[in-house]
Amino acid sequence: MARRTLIGPVSRPLGQGFSLIEMLVAMVIMGLALSVLYQSASGATRNIRVSAEYSQALALAESTMEAFSALLFIGKQEAGQYGSYDWSARAERLGSMANYPIEQRGDSQDALTYVTVSVTWANEANRREIVLQSVGEITEVTDES
- How many Å apart are CA 95 and CA 107, to the nearest integer? 12
Total domain count, the chain: 1
Give the model confidence (pLDDT) of 66-118 as tens digits: 999 888 887 899 999 999 999 999 998 876 555 555 565 555 555 678 899 99
Q: Does some domain include residue 104? A: yes
Give the model confidence (pLDDT) of 6-47 as tens digits: 565 656 566 677 888 999 999 999 999 999 999 999 889 888
Q: Does some domain include residue 10? A: no
Q: Does some domain include residue 14? A: no
Indicate yes or no: pTM above 0.85: no
> Comparing C-alpha atoms, which of 89, 98, 92, 97 is closest to residue 132?
89
**pLDDT exceeding 90 applies to what percent of the chain?**
49
Q: Does some domain include residue 50? A: yes
Strand bridging mode 126-137 / 85-93:
unpaired
Q: Does some domain include residue 126? A: yes
Q: Does some domain include residue 143? A: no
Domain that holds residue 64: 24-137
